[in-house]
């Protein structure tokens, strides 16, 4: 009997072709609503999602026939992992597919901030040709602290390998450090924060990491350092980051994610905080696109297809 798979978000066509080649029935519904998914989910053996479908306990209770949930990319905070395990639903994700894209984007934001690229570009567009006020800072000889060394952390470290920097890593699970690189040193979080010129977050959103970066965390960072977040917005408190920038504690911030990424739902405080961040020359903000490349779209699909094939031993 054919497995029936529902895909709720845009994917590379290679995933659809591959699943059908494995003799699966595929319903590709990238515009489907959450309510529509809830009404029909009990008909499917597999569900493939990105971020719009939150697979909480209530939702999973209606998914009586699911064998697996495939997550396009990473970010398992949208799934009740404990309840899925109890009900025998396997969770398959593909963080390997966009790790390189995140590594490149992280480095790109950092270089743009240090060299005033986006700010000077805005000046030039106004026909203002100023050089001295946009004098940059070189990355070489800096100490880069990477928190989390699962997939995107090592990808960022690899991109830094030609910049003559020292890399410090803190990861409570000790990912990928069985063979330490001579330029990478694993340290306690306190040491990383104290001496790093740049602190980059590459950790999942869990109850342990939610609001990890607060005023206390930032106070422990080196004066004049830079914070990068390409993980999840709820890991770092935007108002605390703004205060640290205003006080001079932070010299800059590169944020691909923020706590609330739906501007139409911002309350008054969020409007004020985000407006203040957007207006600062020492902040670069992108709309959660660090892993969002044409190549990663294919790689995420390819990795997930292979994991589904292995899951069914096909």
Catalytic residue from among 166, 288, 306, 309: 288
Active-site residue (options: 36, 58, 85, 261): 261
| SS3 per residue for the chain | CCCEEEECCCCCHHHHHHHHHCCCEEEECCCCCHHHHHHHHHHCCEEEECCCCCECHHHHHHCCCCCEEEECCCCHHHECHHHHHHCCCEEEECHHHCHHHHHHHHHHHHHHHHCCHHHHHHHHHCCCCCCHHHCCCCCCCCEEEEECCCCHHHHHHHHHHHCCCEEEEECCCCCCCCCCCCCEEECCHHHHHHHCCEEEECCCCCCCCCCCECHHHHHCCCCCEEEEECCCHHHECHHHHHHHHHHCCEEEEEECCCCCCCHHHCCHHHHHHHHHHHCCCCEEECCCCCCCCHHHHHHHHHHHHHHHHHHCCC
232 classed as catalytic: yes
Q: Give the catalytic positions in this structure.
A: 232, 261, 288
């Amino acid at each position: 009997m054919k497995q029936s798979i529902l895909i709720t978000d845009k994917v590379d066509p290679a995933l659809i072709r591959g699943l059908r080649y494995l003799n699966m029935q595929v319903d590709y519904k990238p515009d489907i609503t959450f309510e529509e998914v809830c009404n029909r989910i009990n008909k499917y053996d597999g569900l493939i999602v990105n971020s719009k479908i939150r697979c909480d306990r209530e939702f999973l209770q209606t998914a009586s026939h699911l064998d697996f949930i495939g997550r396009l990319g990473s970010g398992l905070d949208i799934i009740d992992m404990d309840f899925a395990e109890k009900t025998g639903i396997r969770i398959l994700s593909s963080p390997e597919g966009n790790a390189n894209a995140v590594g490149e984007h992280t480095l790109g934001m950092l270089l743009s901030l240090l060299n005033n690229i986006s700010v000077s570009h805005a000046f030039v567009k106004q026909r203002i040709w100023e050089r001295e006020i946009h004098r940059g800072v070189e990355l070489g000889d800096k100490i880069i602290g990477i928190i989390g060394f699962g997939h995107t952390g090592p990808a960022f470290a690899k991109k830094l390998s030609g910049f003559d920097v020292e890399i410090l890593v803190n990861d409570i699970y000790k990912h990928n450090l069985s063979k330490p690189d001579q330029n990478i040193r694993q340290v306690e979080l306190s040491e990383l924060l104290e001496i790093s010129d740049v602190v980059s977050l590459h950790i999942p959103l869990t109850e342990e990491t939610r609001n990890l970066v607060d005023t206390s965390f930032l106070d422990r960072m080196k004066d004049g350092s830079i914070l990068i977040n390409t993980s999840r917005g709820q890991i770092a408190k935007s108002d605390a980051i703004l205060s640290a920038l205003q006080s001079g504690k932070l010299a800059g911030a590169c944020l691909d994610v923020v706590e609330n990424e739906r501007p139409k739902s911002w309350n008054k405080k969020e409007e004020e905080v985000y407006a203040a961040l957007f207006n600062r020359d020492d902040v670069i903000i992108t709309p959660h696109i660090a892993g969002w490349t044409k190549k990663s779209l294919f790689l995420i699909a390819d990795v997930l297809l292979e994991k589904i094939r292995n899951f069914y031993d096909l």
